[in-house]
Homo-oligomer: A and B are copies of this chain.
Amino acid sequence: MINAILSAGITGLPELYRRGEADAVSVTRCYLDRITVLDRHIRAYNQVLADDALTAASASARRWRDGKPLSEIDGTPIAVKANIAVKGAFWHAGIGAYRDRVAQQDAECVARLRAAGAVILGTVNMHEGALGATTDNVWFGRTQNPLRDGYTAGGSSGGSAASVAGGLAAGALGSDTMGSVRIPSAYCGIVGYKPARNAISLDGVIPLSTTLDHVGVHARSLTDCALLAAHAGDRRAITPVDVAGLRLAVPDWRTRVETPDFIWKARDEAATLLLLNGMQRVASDLPTYQPGQARRLGLLVSEVEGLNAHAERLAQGEDGFSPDFLGLLRWGGRQPATRVAAAYQGLDAIRTAGTAWLEQVEAVLLPTAPQTAFQFETPVPANQADFTALADFIGCPAVAVPFGIAPDGLPLSMQVMGRDAATVLAVAACLC
């Protein structure tokens, strides 16, 4: 039964429920049992809400028995990143200083999922303050990549991706400022979708950068991801689109982002698949975009806005902020006004140029990350977000899907971005 439940993901659960082969209680219990056994090692969860989950699952099971489910995701067990408010749960964004803070109400995205019948299994680990991509958290532990021990699950939504990849949740909510949903999804071999800016509300999410943050979703399949996103607020995610004839850009960033050849080779294979699906390849790029330079602008903005986000707490003392995290925030805060403004000006110019670019093509195909998951002890690559950050700067939808296996045996991932959510997801579906 475990296999049937795991392979049902999100989209397949209603079939099990309708047939009476499982109900929300047995499915929730299956995930809770797996958490008990496996999460001791994976450490995806910060807090498991077993009782609440089972109560919600019972209610869901009753609705399905009565033939009155609230939605297609009624009875779907999900995990929620620790910066997104779940009423009654600890809400700390991976920062020690907030470890005792309890959310007084659900974030809007959580409330929407709950209203659709989703079962909240618990909150999951993240890189401290969402500013980083290893989820090696000094306060809440190191989340392991479920696919390989001793390797990072990525971040900042590392717990979200690991919980889904490890079969500890059917789906998860994450947040993405420069790639924090898509990068861990890539490293863990699952699907990660970052909608257009504000397509899913940020109400009830502890900000890193209010100007760049997005809420996103993780799941084991693209259809699962789209369904979850739609119920979290991005209704456009489940609109069918025919990709035949749509213009596809396959930009060559070999000289801009240091990336092994096997990743570019996989990317070219992905492009071929899209052309076989009737898309039309056009020579189109954003030639002015320098990913490394843009990343530094995004980081500076995140650091200064992060300092603003935590200013109130920091005024009471610096306990509960790691030296690494605090160092980044303080560094941002020390920069001169002109440099900060120049960062915003640079990002604004990118948004303008990027938006114009996405009027010329319906989809852009790029790798998700310039490498696969790496060992905790190796130096953290600086360029992890160099393919993902652009979609945050533009504010456009982007999705990362698993696409083959690297020579090291770890999953590869391709990313599709474009101006329209439904189109982006339909294009990515051709790769799954």
Complex Cα gap A305–B339 (Å):
10
Interface of A is mostly: helix
- Residues of B near A348 (CB, < 8 A) are 210-211
Complex-state Cα separation, A342 to B339, whole angstroms: 14
Question: Which residue on B lies nearest to A211, using beta carbons?
Answer: B348
Cβ of A352 < 8 Å from any Cβ of B? yes
Q: Are the CB atoms of B345 and A338 closer together than 8 Å? A: no
> Bound complex: CA of A255 vs CA of B197, how far in Å?
32
**Of B197, B334, B352, which is within 8 A of A337 by CB?**
B334
- Within the complex, the shortest CB–CB distance from A193 to chain B, in Å, comes to 21
The answer for the CA separation of A339 and B305 in the assembled complex, in Å, is 10
Question: For chain A residues 294-311, which have a beta carbon within 8 Å of chain B?
Answer: 301, 304-305, 307-308, 311
Question: Is the Cβ of A311 less than 8 Å from the Cβ of B338?
Answer: yes
| Known contacts A210-B348, A348-B210, A352-B198; A340 and B342 CB within 8 A of each other | no
8 Å CB contact of A349 from B210, B301, B336, B337 = B210
Which residues of B sit under 8 angstroms from A308, Cβ to Cβ? 338, 341-342, 345
Q: Which residues of B contact A253 (CB under 8 A)?
A: none
Taking CB atoms, residues of chain B closer than 8 Å to A352 are 197-198
Q: Which residue of B lies closest to A212 (CB)?
A: B348
Chain B residues within an 8 Å CB radius of A264: none
Q: Which chain B residue shows the least CB distance to A334?
A: B337
Least distance between A329 CB and chain B CB atoms (Å): 10
Q: By the criterion CB–CB under 8 Å, are A210 and B304 in contact? A: no
- Complex: chain B residue closest to A207, CB-CB: B345
Q: Which residues of B contact A334 (CB under 8 A)?
A: 337
Is A335 an interface residue, CB under 8 A from the partner?
yes
Given A198-B352, A210-B349, A352-B198, the answer on whether A333 and B338 have CB atoms closer than 8 Å is: yes
Q: How far is the CB of A80 from chain B (nearest CB, A)?
A: 23
Q: Is A325 part of the binding interface, using a Cβ–Cβ cutoff of 8 Å?
A: no
A332 interface hit (Cβ, 8 Å): yes
User: What are the residues of chain B within 8 A of A340 when measuring CB–CB?
Assistant: 304, 337, 340-341
| A289 contacts partner chain B, Cβ-Cβ < 8 Å | no
Sample of 20 A–B contacts (CB below 8 Å) = A197-B352, A210-B345, A210-B348, A210-B349, A211-B344, A211-B345, A301-B344, A304-B337, A305-B345, A308-B338, A308-B341, A308-B342, A308-B345, A333-B337, A333-B338, A334-B337, A335-B337, A337-B340, A340-B340, A344-B344
10 closest Cβ contacts across the A-B interface? A304-B341, A211-B348, A340-B340, A337-B340, A335-B337, A344-B344, A304-B337, A210-B345, A333-B337, A305-B341
Beyond the given A304-B338, A308-B338, please list 15 additional residue pairs across the A-B interface where CB-CB is below 8 A.
A197-B352, A210-B348, A210-B349, A301-B341, A301-B344, A305-B345, A307-B338, A308-B345, A333-B337, A334-B337, A335-B337, A336-B337, A337-B339, A340-B341, A341-B344
